[in-house]
Amino acid sequence: MKDQNFNKAKNWFENLRNQLIKTVSDIDGLEFAETEWKHRHEGGGTMAKIKGKVIEKGGINVSTVSGKFNAEMQARIPGTKTDPRYQATGISVVLHPLSPKIPSMHFNTRFLMTTENWFGGGMDITPCLEFNPLDEYHDGLKNICNKYNANKYKEFKKWCDDYFYLPHRNEPRGAGGIFFDYLKNNWDNDFEFIIEIGKYFHDFVKKTLLDFKNEKWSDSDKNKQLIKRSRYAEFNLLHDRGTKFGLETGGNIDAILMSMPPLAKWD
Amino acid sequence: MKDQNFNKAKNWFENLRNQLIKTVSDIDGLEFAETEWKHRHEGGGTMAKIKGKVIEKGGINVSTVSGKFNAEMQARIPGTKTDPRYQATGISVVLHPLSPKIPSMHFNTRFLMTTENWFGGGMDITPCLEFNPLDEYHDGLKNICNKYNANKYKEFKKWCDDYFYLPHRNEPRGAGGIFFDYLKNNWDNDFEFIIEIGKYFHDFVKKTLLDFKNEKWSDSDKNKQLIKRSRYAEFNLLHDRGTKFGLETGGNIDAILMSMPPLAKWD
């Protein structure tokens, strides 16, 4: 039963990956380059990277790995006290568009199995100019979260705002979205929520790229984007849990730093 | 006697600052913009920043501050166990040239007084292309260090190589130089060494800018520079002690991040 759920999650992440790759490359006109990698324990993943005409730099990664957590991780990860084994499967996406009219878009969802099992993930965007469908974007997330559980949107939104924050600049990284972890209420409902969020991200990416890719921008717009991206780089190197964990544990450097902006400016 | 030494050090750092500002702006053609700032305890400093034609982004900062270290710092800083008071004076310079033919150049020297007193500092460069006077550059440092103490060059060079290293990329930040701390042998000799290093940095900057500022470069050269600068940014945010300390203790963000490259590329 458990393994069946794991496979369902894995299949959905791979399915979503394929949809996203098709949608983004159809709009961009250029293809993703794929690289397979192996995990140092068991399993591995596929990085798909685009350096395109609409997406200046983008990565869509899926991975399915298993192994045993070390003592430090056992202390932090639920359900590993008596048994350090884990299986994990997930999808992670970062898109940095060339146009400053289009926000950077970030998304990930994952399923973890130890003696417990749960979903985690989130979605957030980083505009550098006024982004007009912003209320619509937040409302869409609100609807999905509140359909899942009437109290969750507020919690998931705050988690995102708190997480993507640069204390040394007293400013948020972007416009936020949602962030969640340890979802383990009712598996079918949780999985349904994960699917909804994935579909929402896909549709948001598609609509946003199509609506804004032909909008003109000025040098001053581009300059604002380059400066905003330096804050994005600061966040990832100073605060992002995944990046820090990856760098400290000697993970695949290309996969870990896939999220870094293509070009960033410190004024 | 002690205060007299402190003032001698402070005057030298300010004198060197003035020389550097004159030399760099004469060559660049543009002026530095100066900002005075106050320390949260006592004292303050002057940041001088250039966004020029030869130096794409450069900062020359001097500061003289005093105060009391907190318990955490007392545990780390010599001579503060029984008395937490300190005085510090120093100069810090980072120059990021526009041309990829010219290395980024970094230098700092400082004098600290607690119940003990000592000098620290260093100089290193980050070329992104082959930089031909590299042996000459290292030899110059070697001569100055070995004049100060026959065994010190090897030690100071290794300290620099060990410090400016990116473990996650298995690569050095740049071409190295020297790095030293806790110099407290003979004050006059130590100070003489500090002056020699400062003069050497000034002359190296002047000669390098004059020799290379008119050399042509290609788009491919520029691309290499932008990528090299992303490693520079990674080092500063992930590893640099001064940057981390400044960000964690809520220092002046502009002064702390003055060293960040003007434009950096993650491929």
- Asked if residues A112 and A137 have their Cβ atoms less than 8 Å apart, the reply is no
Nearest CA in chain B to A267: B262
Q: Chain B residues with CB inside 8 Å of A234's CB?
A: 237
Say what the pLDDT of residue B181 is.
96
B95-124 mean pLDDT: 97
Is A17 part of a structural domain of the chain? yes
**Residues in Cβ contact with A198 at an 8 Å cutoff, skipping those fewer than 6 apart:** A12, A13, A16, A91, A107, A109
A-interface mutation test, from B165, B166, B168, most A Cβ less than 10 A away: B168
- Asked if residues B156 and B164 have their Cβ atoms less than 8 Å apart, the reply is no
Q: Chain A residues with CB inside 8 Å of B238's CB?
A: 237, 247
Which residues between 48 and 77 in chain B have a beta carbon less than 8 angstroms from any beta carbon of chain A? 57
Is B247 part of a structural domain of the chain? yes
Mean pLDDT of chain B: 94
Q: Is A106 tagged catalytic?
A: yes
Q: Do A253 and B168 touch (CB under 8 A)?
A: yes
The domain of B43 spans 2-259
Q: Chain A residues with CB inside 8 Å of B169's CB?
A: 253
Q: Chain A residues with CB inside 8 Å of B265's CB?
A: 262-264
Is A123 part of a structural domain of the chain? yes
Say what the pLDDT of residue B139 is.
98
In SS3 terms, chain A reads as: CHHHHHHHHHHHHHHHHHHHHHHHHHHHCCCCEEEEEECCCEEEEEEEEECCCCEEEEEEEEEEEEEECCHHHHHHCCCCCCCCEEEEEEEEEEEEECCCCCCEEEEEEEEEECCCEEEEEEEEEECCCCCCCHHHHHHHHHHHHHHHCCCHHHHHHHHHHHHCEEHHHCEECCCEEEEEEEECCCHHHHHHHHHHHHHHHHHHHHHHHHHHCCCCCCHHHHHHHHHHHHHHHHHHHHCCHHHHHHHHCCCCHHHHHHHCCCEEECC
Say what the pLDDT of residue B247 is.
81
**Which of A15-19, B68-72, B204-208, B234-238 is predicted least confidently?**
B68-72
Say what the pLDDT of residue A120 is.
97
What does pLDDT average to in each consecutive run of 10 residues of chain A (267 residues)?
A: 87 98 98 90 90 97 90 87 92 97 98 95 98 96 96 96 95 97 95 98 98 97 98 95 79 86 97
- Residue B46 to residue A227: CA distance in whole angstroms: 24
- The minimum CA-CA distance between B189 and chain A, rounded to whole Å, is 39
Is B59 part of a structural domain of the chain? yes
Q: Do B266 and A260 touch (CB under 8 A)?
A: yes
Q: Give me the CATH number covering residue A33.
A: 3.40.1500.10
Residue tagged 């991780």 (tokens): A73
Out of B106, B138, B202, B239, the active site residue is B106
Q: Chain A residues with CB inside 8 Å of B257's CB?
A: 266
Among B57, B247, B265, select the one facing A262 at the smallest CB separation: B265
- Asked if residues A266 and B261 have their Cβ atoms less than 8 Å apart, the reply is yes
Residue tagged 């002359």 (tokens): B203
Nearest CA in chain B to A263: B265
- Taking CA atoms, A43 is separated from A39, A88, A183, A236, B203, in Å, by 5, 10, 24, 25, 55
- Asked if residues A65 and A41 have their Cβ atoms less than 8 Å apart, the reply is yes
In SS3 terms, B208-248 reads as: HHHHHCCCCCCHHHHHHHHHHHHHHHHHHHHCCHHHHHHHH
- Residue A4 to residue A217: CA distance in whole angstroms: 49
- Residue B52 to residue A122: CA distance in whole angstroms: 42
| Whether the predicted pLDDT of B1 surpasses 80 | no
Kindly state whether B261 is in contact with chain A, defined as any CB-CB distance less than 8 angstroms.
yes
Kindly state whether A33 is in contact with chain B, defined as any CB-CB distance less than 8 angstroms.
no
Which residues between 218 and 247 in chain A have a beta carbon less than 8 angstroms from any beta carbon of chain B? 226, 230, 233-234, 237-238, 247
Say what the pLDDT of residue B92 is.
95
> What does the pLDDT look like over B53-109, one tens digit per residue?
999 999 999 999 888 888 888 888 899 989 999 999 999 999 999 999 999 999 999
Among A233, A250, A262, select the one facing B233 at the smallest CB separation: A233
Token pair of A1 as six digits: 């039963």
Query: What are the backbone dihedrals phi and psi of residue A224, each rounded to the nearest 5 degrees, phi first?
Result: -60, -40
Give chain B's length.
Answer: 267
pLDDT band at residue B2 under the 50/70/90 scheme = low
Residue of A156, A138, A242, A240 whose CA lies nearest to A193? A156
| Whether the predicted pLDDT of B30 surpasses 60 | yes
Token pair of B148 as six digits: 């100060």
Is B265 part of a structural domain of the chain? no
The fraction of chain B above a pLDDT of 70, given in percent, is 99
Nearest CA in chain B to A250: B168
Report the b/e string of B16-44 with b at 16+ CB within 10 A. bbeebbebbbebbeeebeeeeeebeeebe
Kindly state whether A267 is in contact with chain B, defined as any CB-CB distance less than 8 angstroms.
yes
- Asked if residues A80 and A115 have their Cβ atoms less than 8 Å apart, the reply is yes
Is A189 part of a structural domain of the chain? yes
Say what the pLDDT of residue B243 is.
87
Q: Do A247 and B266 touch (CB under 8 A)?
A: no
Is A78 part of a structural domain of the chain? yes
B135-158 mean pLDDT: 96
Q: Do B264 and A264 touch (CB under 8 A)?
A: yes
Q: Tell me how crowded residue A220 is: count the other CB atoms within 10 A of its CB.
A: 10
Say what the pLDDT of residue B215 is.
96
Say what the pLDDT of residue A73 is.
83
**Which of A136-140, B39-43, B112-116, B137-141 is predicted least confidently?**
B39-43
Say what the pLDDT of residue B153 is.
97
Say what the pLDDT of residue B216 is.
97
- Residue A177 to residue A39: CA distance in whole angstroms: 30
Listing DSSP states for B78-106 in one string gives: TT-SS--EEEEEEEEEEEEESSTTS-EEE
Number of domains present in the structure of chain A: 1
Is A265 part of a structural domain of the chain? no
| Whether the predicted pLDDT of B253 surpasses 80 | yes
Q: Chain A residues with CB inside 8 Å of B240's CB?
A: none
- Taking CA atoms, B60 is separated from A65, A162, A229, B36, B87, in Å, by 49, 35, 25, 12, 20
